[in-house]
Amino acid sequence: MSALLTPQFAIPAASVVIALASLGLAVYTGWVTRRHFRHTLRPIINVDTDISPTQERYSILLHNCGPGVAIIKSWSLTIAGMKPEDLGKMSSRALTDALGYPALIDFTHYFAGDALQSGERIEIIGTKAVAQTEEECESFKNCLKKIRVEFAYASVYEEVWEKMYDGEKENERV
């Protein structure tokens, strides 16, 4: 009888094979579970424009359409090639003047650590529609060409994504 077929060798060898297979299965299961949780908690932020004569407000919106919370890591707003600090005290009036739009434009600024919940839509820049005409929509679209918003956001797992809204490029597709 061969030395490999003796019970003194075969039983411990089978035990080692079973233990290694169990360990491999446990590691694989842990990896798959972690990957699943990362995907199910991933925020997906879209920058939407809501510009139509049927709307009461024209706006650029951040929309978290992913299942996870988006945590803002950085935020930068550029208007006509200038940072808000270059425009002086940043107010709705200063923004409106810099864009050359006749109606007052509101804006929102985010800080590191701010969160956007799943399904939440927040207006970045917007104005009340006055006449609700095609011409007014086109005028607002032209103003948006001067706006650039760059931001980075993270999931609860600290995975970071960057996003940018460049009005010049975005409005070519509208």
Q: Which amino acid is at 39?
A: H
Residue 162's Cβ-side half-sphere holds a number of Cα atoms within 13 Å equal to 5
Return the CATH architecture of domain 45-173: Sandwich (2.60)
- Sole residue written with tokens 């094979």: 17
Query: Which residues, other chains included, contact 111 with Cβ-Cβ below 8 Å and sequence gap of 6+?
Result: 72, 75
pTM of the predicted model, to two decimals? 0.74
Closest CA to 126 of 45, 72, 47, 65: 47
Q: What is the pLDDT of residues 53-92, one digit of tens each?
A: 777 888 888 999 999 999 999 988 888 777 766 665 567 7
> What is the Cα–Cα distance from 109 to 119, expressed in whole angstroms?
19
Strands 147-154 and 70-79: antiparallel
Average pLDDT, the chain: 84
